[in-house]
A and B are shown apart, each in its own frame.
Chain A
Amino acid sequence: MPRPQPRAKAPPFPILPALQPIADSVIEAKLPNGLTVRLLPSHEVPTCSFYTFFRVGSRNERPGITGISHLFEHMMFNGAKKFGPGQFDKVLESNGGTSNAYTSTDLTVYYEDFMAEALETVIDLESDRMRSLQVTPKMLESERQVVMEERRLRVDNEIAGMVDEELSTLVWKAHPYRWPVIGWMKDIENIRREDCLDYFRTYYAPNNATVYVSGDFEPKEALRLLKKYYGAIKPGPSPAKVIDAEPEQKGERRAEVRHPAQAPMLMIAWRGPASTHPDTLTLDVLQYALSVGQSSRLTRSLVFEQELAVGISVDWTWRLDPGAFTVVLELKPGADPLRTEAALYAELEKVAKEGISARELEKAKNNLSAHLLRELATNNGRAHALGTYELMLGHWREGLALASRYEAITTEQVRAAAARYLSAERRSVVTLAPTPGAQA
């Protein structure tokens, strides 16, 4: 698996003065077993956030065990050697804390928010499950049912989930991004305990994890506790490299989902670059210029002027392997999706030919900067943002320097990125075609 390499020297882009105190506060460490540690002390509120990022997600799966990363995330709350079944959340809550987790295509991420006094307890709890998670047949069966219920909620009974699942299978033919993070229902039903244990040994070793602690704590004491509780956990083998065997796309791909619904819906994706590719940030700017704010290109044109969509959103999620630039259009009941599609392509073509105005560029950059600042307003947000930057961009500094990296992007670069990525040959289109069931 390609591990982002920390840069030898500081990136050429400066960090905004407002963010310099955060950059100055970061303390970096690495335990002998390979666990990466980042401490972000601040004393504004008497709480802390503790994040653990594992470099594993659905891209590390294979057919037959799709969804195991996510099912495993659930299993992490079901008991280890010291803190048995049900104890993790009980102990945490009784110490003034709460926890949650999520799984993406690339990462599995756990966090706790808690009162500052509970830091040692949280480190005890987290290290216990990294060292000695217990996967009992009984807990696995119960959790399997919960995950199947989650799939029914988010995919089988939710239209956007259904359409999104169809879209991924269209965009990717060979790469694991093809299957949904929650997995196929049959695979969830059939994942075996041995698969889980194997997964745990490979991906939940300290050398595959990064810990971020932010909030009201003393760094020396925190580091002492981290060494005390994590130090004896043995490193694991290097996880297998994920092969990106995705073939070149040779033309537009289309699919239709027929389901009872009030109105049609469109989800359209173009294959984009990987997170560390320089074009990724140019596409961030393009995403904002197209869809953020009532005056953004697509919102103004398709929602307010032509009234061809009720709502529009553009998703450009950074991924370790080449990802997808996705436009979602919510239509009116009775609307003609082909007409909306044509209008969307006309707008994108204009950007690919003429670029965006200097003012649109400035707007996009200002909105990106404001968004970055808002992310950093809480202990939880700081730990999550910096951790994500480190894992997706290679270094947390790259994230804090994003504003100046965006600042250097030109209108010509935005035009070129639109021309290069948002072409007909690179796109996949899923249309939701309403069937009569839902109309009264």
Chain B
Amino acid sequence: MKTFRTQTPKLRPLHLPPHEVRVLANGLTVHVVKRSSLPLVAVRLVVRAGSAFDAADQRGVADFASRILRRGAGGQSADEISEAVDLVGAALGGYANEENAVISLSTPSKHLDAMLGVMGQVVLAPDFPEQEVELNRRRTLAQLANELDDPGTLADRALTRAVWGQHPYAFESCGGKVDVERLTRAQLQAFHRERLGPKVAHLFVVGDVDVEAVTEVIQRTLGGWRGGPKFAPEVPAWPGLQKPGDVVIVDKPEQTQAQVRIAAAGVKRGHPDHFPLVVMNAVLGGGFTSRLVTEIRVKRGLSYGAGSSFDMLSAGGSFTVSSFTRTESVNTLVDVALAEVEKMRLKGPSAKELATVQRYICGLYPGRLETNEAVAGAIADVVHYGLPPDWIAGYRERISAVSVKQAAEAAHRHLFKGERVLALVGNAEALKPMVSRYGPITVLRPTDLE
């Protein structure tokens, strides 16, 4: 077979437009990035009020409230707000993830002022009308039920619980059936009053804007926002896997294919080993030539897809291998995946593999900053996780600087030995005798994850 030469990466500079930061008198931090190739603007309001801070008897409150902020606010009905947003071809939405409540707006730039006005009303003065609360409750419950038909979603949910135990990250941001059934309008109002506020929020505006003019509009529409917490809350520390070795099967007898997840503890966002881990994981299960894809898909035809990833949050992180295969091949797939992780843990990547993925990651990185939404998201991450200010500008240099030794050491430190959990979705009767050798089995029904 022919060999190919890998050149030393020479990185063309990234042309990052200036990023202006202002803090309004009410404490809201405003970030503006002017990019004007197309007449579009992306706006993202990120408030440190995610589902990890939901009280145990109010799980899902952050997401529920964020989703219906726009269903009636500032004296305007849900229909009136929808009309205003839809008429100009804009999109406005809200949701919560583990750490933040996020309200996002995407609009043609000529309508930015009007749309920031709508966004201001929705953030400052949501009405949470009783009928909208009930409507959203019924819709969310139906969606939660319907999601039980999706094997991939079930596998991810089962795994999330198995990994995080009783930590707040263990619970879906939208809450479960029981949570959604019992949330009250008063709790949604309290969430808005007590957990959302300008001092724990950052607003990102990226696109075809005039910095001075947009700052004035923001002052007018969000400058009057008051209340909420003075300081950002912290997510509690995670004690680690509670039952390493556990195997969870979600029983769907009609399946001819099994979803497979293997997970273990990873690292927090901003960990000193971040870059060695990113590079090492790209070799193991990142790109299309990763070891997992090669061994599972290319060499054995066991699956259409296979990969691994580190999920890094502020209070902890996990490492996951994901794939799927026909029921009868589950053992082969799991054994191959475990062997690849172990091989990487013991020996690390080769110099050639490392050089390949470094070029791969660096070459594609500028493409991750092409849209206004992507730039807003990247800057929001830097702010949220307290990353160094040159994180984006110096990303490719930091990736390129990782040595084989550093990547191998990071693999050795952070990849699991025996302490991992397995989650499978498929026909439990067929799967049980096959997977009992990986650890004690718990069988769940899909409805246990509703």
Binding site for B on A (CB under 8 A): 18, 44-47, 82-84, 86-87, 89-91, 93-99, 113-118, 141-147, 149-150, 152-153, 156-159, 216, 259-263, 292-296, 300, 303-304, 307, 310-311, 330-333, 359, 362-363, 366-371, 373-374, 376-380, 437-438, 440
Contact = CB atoms under 8 A, between A and B. Distances in A.
A378 B367 contact: yes
Interface of B: 1-2, 4, 6, 9-10, 12-15, 37-40, 70, 78-79, 82-83, 85-91, 106-108, 135, 138-139, 142-143, 145-146, 148-151, 252-257, 287-289, 294, 297-304, 324-326, 355-357, 359-360, 362-364, 366-367, 369-372, 445-447
A226 B108 CA distance: 37
Contacts of A99: 288
B360 A157 contact: no
Contacts of B40: 370, 373-374, 377
A93 B367 contact: no
22 contacts: A47-B363, A86-B289, A113-B364, A114-B363, A115-B364, A118-B363, A141-B301, A142-B299, A146-B303, A149-B326, A156-B256, A156-B257, A262-B149, A263-B145, A292-B86, A295-B83, A363-B86, A367-B86, A369-B108, A377-B37, A379-B370, A440-B447
Contacts, number: 220
B359 A94 contact: yes
A370 B108 contact: yes
Nearest to B367: A47
Nearest to A261: B149
A378 B370 contact: yes
Top 7 closest A-B pairs, CB basis? A96-B363, A145-B301, A115-B363, A370-B89, A293-B86, A366-B89, A295-B82
A128 B78 CA distance: 56
B422 to A, nearest CB: 19
Contact of A86 (B256, B298, B301, B355): B298
Given A113-B364, A262-B149, A440-B447, A46 B14 contact: yes
Nearest to B86: A293
Given A146-B303, A438-B148, A259 B254 contact: yes
A150 B252 CA distance: 19
A157 B151 contact: yes
Contacts of A294: 70, 78, 82, 85-86
Contacts of B360: 93-94, 96-98
Contacts of A94: 4, 6, 355-356, 359-360
A369 B89 contact: yes
A383 to B, nearest CB: 12
* B12, B13, B86, B298 interface centre (most CB from chain A within 10 Å): B86
A138 to B, nearest CB: 11
B86 A440 contact: no
A44 B15 CA distance: 8
A295 B302 contact: no
Given A94-B360, A114-B364, 13 more contacts: A46-B14, A84-B1, A116-B12, A149-B303, A293-B86, A304-B135, A310-B139, A332-B142, A370-B40, A376-B38, A380-B367, A437-B254, A440-B446
B287 A98 contact: yes
B335 to A, nearest CB: 17
A293 B82 contact: yes
B326 A45 contact: no
A333 B371 CA distance: 39
Contacts of B253: 260, 437
B135 A307 contact: yes
Contacts of B304: 146-147, 149-150, 153
Contacts of B2: 82-84, 87
A145 B355 CA distance: 31
A216 B14 CA distance: 12
B79 A300 contact: yes
Nearest to B361: A96
Contacts of B39: 18, 373
A279 B10 CA distance: 51
Contact of A46 (B88, B107, B366): B366
Nearest to A74: B304
Contacts of A367: 86, 89
Contact of A333 (B89, B106, B145, B150): B145
Given A84-B1, A84-B2, A152 B256 contact: yes
A149 B257 contact: yes
Given A93-B357, A94-B355, A373 B145 contact: no
A290 to B, nearest CB: 12
B397 to A, nearest CB: 14
A292 B85 CA distance: 11
A311 B140 CA distance: 11
Contacts of B146: 262-263, 310, 330, 333
Contacts of A145: 301-302
B445 A440 contact: yes
Nearest to B5: A94
Contacts of A95: 6, 359, 363
A150 to B, nearest CB: 4
A294 B93 CA distance: 11
Contacts of B356: 90, 93-94
A98 B106 CA distance: 28
